[in-house]
Structures are given as C-alpha cells and as structure tokens.
C-alpha cells in the first residue's frame, strides 16, 4: 500500500510517542510538543494504518518557514520516506510563499547529519549560520538564582538569535516572538534567554568572563526545570575560546573543533 502524508490528528499520539522513544535514546522532544503542534502545519506519513514519519513547518518572524520535526521510525528508515516528507514540506513552503505568508525556508541540523546536509544542498539550501551546541552538568556548578527580566531589542546582540533549536533574525518582530516563547534572565548584569520548557540557553554575551558568571545561573534554571544537564548555544566565532569553555565545565558530545549546528536557508521568490 502506498504511504500517504496528511495532517496529524490527536489519535496519532501513540505512534508519535513510539517514534520519540526510539529517537535520540528516548530524549526526543516530539512527544512533548505534540499538543502544541497539532493543527499548525504538522504532518505525518502513514503506512498501512501506522504513522511512521513526521514533519513540521513553523512560521517564524521575517516570513520564515522553519522546517523541523522530520522523523522516520527506525524500522522504516532507508526506504525513501524521509525524502518523501522533505519533498512534501518543500511543496508546502512553495504554496505558502505564493500566498505571501513566507519568503524563505530554513532549518537547522547536526553537523554529522550527512544525508540531511546533502539533501539540503541538492534542493538549493545554503548554510547561513553555524553554532556550537555545548553541554554542561548541573552538578558541575553551585547554582545561583538569577532575576527574570523584560528584554529590549538592545539585549539581542546577535544577528541570528538561537531559541533552542530555532534561529531568528534580530528584529522587533523577533523580540515580541521571544517574549512569548522564552524567558530572559539577568545575573550580575549579564543576560541570557531560554525557551519555555527547555534547557538550551543562549547567552547574550559570549565572553569567557561573562559565561563564567552566567553558567551557575543557567544551572539554577535547569535544576528548577528538573534537568540534570543543560545545553548552551554559542556562535561559531567562539571557536578560539573552546579550551577556556571546557575549563568552565562545558563539553562537546563529539570530538570536534568545528561548529556542530548548521543553519540552512532557501529563498523563495514568487510573482
């Protein structure tokens, strides 16, 4: 029977939970965002009555269609279903562009995801930003409580601002989006943000001294959210600081000196 791609439905939850349990050693976020994503360009690939794949398009500030949540059940990989979902999302992006709702497609992927990178380049995507996603253990720090603050555009010091595994361009529209989706904290005059319900932090200043001051506060927020580990997203320009970052207690999951998160973009022009 031919697979079909359709919008996700509430009754798909058990299938989504199974895919999440079998992805990233059971740490996939897909099951946690299931309710939030329903009805918002969230699609599944169904085969013989079973959901074996997923894909999502989220409209971000700047008329960006953000591609995420592309998953295929481990037992069904290698059959072209990932490609089928990817092509469907490209067609959806073109439809939204014709309607004037988006002007570009973007997504982020891990630097070792060679198949995704090759597929993106074949489809006309190019790399627009690179980041280091580093890990840290809460137990490595003496957590210190930060103050929650209301951000301003001046706080967005980076041209591309990570919000978990989404990346936004600096603008007033992005600031309002972040106010709704993330929390901003201050510790001794240094600020960072973290998406609600997540434990991936974005420092708004990336010097070694400021990171040393912020990490105990990040550890405090992560501990309050029940996490034993947390992540810190830093722009590729910190590469010379990697030895110092390791001394501060941060680590990379792979032995690499290169950025491990790549942000891709494809411009869509109509009319």
Q: Token pair of 226, please?
A: 């029940």
Average of per-residue pLDDT across 138-155: 96
DSSP state of 197: T
Least confident of 16-30, 63-77, 99-113, 250-264: 16-30
CA distances from 146 to 140, 165, 179, 199 (A): 17, 23, 17, 15
- Which CATH superfamily hosts domain 4-102? Gcn5-related N-acetyltransferase (GNAT) (3.40.630.30)
Say what percent of the chain tops pLDDT 90: 84
pLDDT at 62 over 70: yes
pLDDT at 101 over 70: yes
CA distances from 150 to 60, 154, 159, 192 (A): 21, 12, 20, 11
18-39 pLDDT tens trace:
999 988 777 788 888 999 999 9
- Listed in sequence order, the residues at least 6 apart from 191 whose beta carbon sits closer than 8 Å to its beta carbon are 149, 151, 155, 184, 185, 203, 204, 205
pLDDT at 271 over 70: no
Overall CATH class of domain 130-261: alpha beta
pLDDT at 146 over 70: yes
Do 4-102 and 130-261 agree at the fold level? yes
Q: Give the number of other CB atoms < 10 A from CB of residue 270.
A: 10
pLDDT at 234: 97
String of b and e for 143-180 (b: at least 16 CB within 10 Å)?
beebeeeebeeebbebebbbbbbbbbbbeeebbebbee
pLDDT at 256: 82
Q: Token pair of 155, please?
A: 């706080």
Q: What share of the chain is helix, strand, coil (3-state, %, to 5)?
A: 35, 35, 30
Q: Where are the chain's structural domains? A: 4-102, 130-261
- φ/ψ of 54, rounded to 5, equals -140, 160
Residue in 67, 48, 68 with CA at minimum distance from that of residue 1? 48
């Amino acid at each position: 029977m031919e697979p079909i791609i359709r919008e996700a439905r509430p009754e798909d939850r058990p299938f989504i939970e199974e895919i999440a349990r079998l992805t990233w050693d059971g740490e996939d976020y897909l099951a946690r965002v299931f309710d939030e994503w329903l009805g918002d360009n969230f699609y599944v690939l169904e085969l013989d009555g079973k959901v074996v794949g997923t894909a999502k398009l989220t409209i971000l500030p700047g008329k960006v269609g953000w591609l995420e949540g592309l998953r295929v059940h481990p037992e069904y990989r290698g059959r072209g279903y990932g490609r089928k979902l990817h092509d469907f999302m490209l067609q959806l992006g073109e439809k939204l562009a014709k309607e004037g709702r988006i002007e570009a497609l973007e997504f982020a992927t891990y630097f070792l995801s060679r198949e995704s990178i090759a597929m993106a380049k074949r489809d006309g995507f190019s790399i627009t930003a690179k980041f280091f996603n580093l890990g840290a253990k809460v137990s490595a720090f003496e957590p210190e409580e930060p103050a929650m603050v209301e951000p301003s555009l001046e706080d967005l010091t980076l041209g591309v601002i990570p919000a978990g595994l989404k990346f936004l361009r600096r603008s007033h529209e992005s600031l309002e989006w972040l106010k709704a989706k993330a929390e901003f904290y201050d510790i001794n005059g240094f600020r960072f943000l973290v998406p609600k319900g997540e434990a991936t932090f974005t420092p708004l200043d990336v010097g070694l001294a400021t990171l040393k001051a912020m990490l105990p506060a990040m550890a405090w927020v992560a501990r309050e959210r029940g996490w034993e580990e947390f992540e810190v997203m830093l722009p590729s320009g910190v590469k010379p600081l990697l030895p110092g970052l390791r001394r501060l207690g941060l680590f990379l999951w792979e032995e690499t000196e290169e950025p491990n998160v790549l942000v891709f973009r494809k411009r869509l022009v109509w009319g």
